[in-house]
Amino acid sequence: MLPIRDCVQQTLGYVPGEQPQTTDYIKLNTNENPYAPPDEIFNNLGEELKKVRLYPDPVSTHLRKAAGEIFGVSHEQILAGNGSDDILNIALRTFVNPGETIAFLEPTYSLYETIARVHGAKITTVPTNDKFELDRPLICPEAKLIFLASPNPPLGKHLNRQYLQETCKKASGVVLIDEAYVDFSDEDHWDFIKQYNNVIISRTMSKSYSLAGIRVGFGISSPEIIEEMNKVRDSYNLDRIAQTLASKCFKFQDSFQEIWGKVRATRNRLIASLRNLDFLVFDSDSNFVFASPQWLEASELYSQLKERKVLVRYFKNPRINNYVRITVGTDAEIDRLLEVIEQLKNG
């Protein structure tokens, strides 16, 4: 028998959205950005590629400085991660001993549960209300770490700010606010890291900066917290190409803001159109919407769309199994989605 840890044996592992091996799908299932980053970021990449013999900067200095300018904080307050998933894992390993408690909402980003299980942490889940909202502060005195995504999947709406604030104030451990989708919204939580000494914000370049394929994320907090987390990360956790491309992206803030505006406009049109097609749809602060067809089982809608080469995300979990999550694509992609839905509805 192999000495596999019980907590690993008892975990299914994270189930990501499908990445089809053919290109004939309209892919609206994993919240990627439908627009490519500016071509200029690839200029002179050959020079960097020729250096692959050498290890990359272990602490991503240039990238952290570029990020710090955009975020308005010192690079000493930033830890770079191999995607923000890396930051979540590092936080877990920095603050929670196996057997100690981590808390998060239900439903939320499903990776929280996977990494907590693999770590052997005790998990406390706090249910959202029937509108999937946080309707009181999350109080869990034994939690060493609380993960709260705002905007929170699968709805994509920001959590109530006042309850979030009270959560941070009353927490005896650390609170990580996962802002993966924040650039598609009007709010952020930068003020929290100034106000509370137990808060970490995580950010990703996978969604708003169109870099899901190279895995870059950040943890932002006090220099003291970042110093501890820095001891836990893999020695060279971001490769050379990721550091170079991500640093360059921050020089094109105007182009990205234009992209975010386009995504938001398409999102609002998608929400209105789905409501016209008799879907229950929640408002969204993200690049995806969460919607329930009132005339067909969501699982059936998912399958019918997939047959017609449109991929959306469907979750079997009991609380959300009558919804689909739809990533905001280009206008043309969303037109096609709506066309297919209309055909299905009209039989």
Ligand X SMILES: Cc1ncc(COP(=O)(O)O)c(C=O)c1O
Nearer to ligand X, 14 or 55 (CB): 14
What residue type is assigned to position 158 of the chain?
H
Task: Name the residue nearer to ligand X (CB basis): 113 or 178.
Answer: 178
- Judged by beta carbon, residue 93 or residue 308, the one nearer ligand X is 93
Quote the least distance from Cβ 299 to ligand X, whole Å.
21
Helix axes 223-232, 84-95, angle to 10 degrees: 90
Q: Closest distance between ligand X and the C-beta of residue 78, in Å?
A: 14
237 binds ligand X (CB under 6 A): no
| Among 29, 60, 84, 167, interactor with ligand X by CB under 6 A | 84
- Cβ-based nearer residue to ligand X, 137 or 217: 217
| Whether the Cβ atoms of residue 96 and residue 104 lie closer than 8 Å to each other | no
How many residues line the site for ligand X (CB under 6 A)?
Answer: 13
- Is residue 175 within 8 Å of 167, Cβ to Cβ? yes
The yes or no reply on residue 292 touching ligand X (CB under 6 A) is: no
For ligand X, give the closer residue by CB, 153 or 293: 153
User: Is 68 in contact with 226 (CB distance < 8 Å)?
Assistant: no
CB 192 within 8 A of CB 168: yes
Strand 101-106 versus strand 143-149 pairing type: parallel
The 10 Å CB-count burial string (b at 16+, else e) for 101-137 is bbbbbbbbbebbbbbbbbbbbeebbbebeeebbbeeb
Alpha-carbon span 42 to 267, nearest angstrom? 29
> Is 31 among the residues that bind ligand X (CB under 6 A)?
yes
Q: Using an 8 Å Cβ cutoff, are 290 and 276 in contact?
A: no
CB of 179 to ligand X, least distance (A): 8
CA torsion through residues 71, 76, 82, 88, sign: negative
Q: How far is the CB of 118 from ligand X (least distance, A)?
A: 16
Residue from the set 77, 128, 157, 178 that interacts with ligand X by CB under 6 A: 178
CB of residue 288 to ligand X, shortest distance in Å: 9
Task: Look at residue 178 and give its three-state secondary structure.
Answer: strand
217 touching ligand X, by CB under 6 A: yes
The smaller minimum CB distance to ligand X, of residues 86 and 293, is found at 86
Q: Is 137 in the site for ligand X (CB under 6 A)?
A: no
DSSP-derived secondary structure letter, 37: P
From 44-52, 82-90, 169-177, 263-271, span contacting ligand X (CB under 6 A): 82-90
Q: Which one of 37, 68, 153, 156 is in contact with ligand X (CB under 6 A)?
A: 153
Binding mask 42-81 for ligand X (x = CB under 6 A): ----------------------------------------
Assess 29 for contact with ligand X (CB under 6 A).
Answer: no
Residue 109 as a binder of ligand X (CB under 6 A): the answer is yes
Query: How many Å apart are CA 19 and CA 25, to the nearest integer?
Result: 10
Report how far Cα 266 is from the mean position of its chain's Cα atoms. Answer: 20
Q: Provide the minimum distance between the beta carbon of 99 and ligand X in the complex, in angstroms, as a whole number.
A: 25
Minimum distance, C-beta of residue 90 to ligand X, in the bound complex (Å): 12
First to last CA, the chain: 55
Residue placing its CB nearer to ligand X in the complex, 149 or 271: 149
Residue selected from 83, 107, 156, 173 as contacting ligand X according to rule CB under 6 A: 83
Do residues 33 and 208 make contact, with C-beta atoms less than 8 angstroms apart? Answer: yes
Rounded distance between C-alpha atoms, residue 2 and residue 55, angstroms: 33
Q: Is 101 helix (H, G, I), strand (E, B) or coil?
A: strand
- Rule CB under 6 A: which residues touch ligand X? 31, 83-85, 109, 149, 153, 178, 180, 204, 206, 212, 217
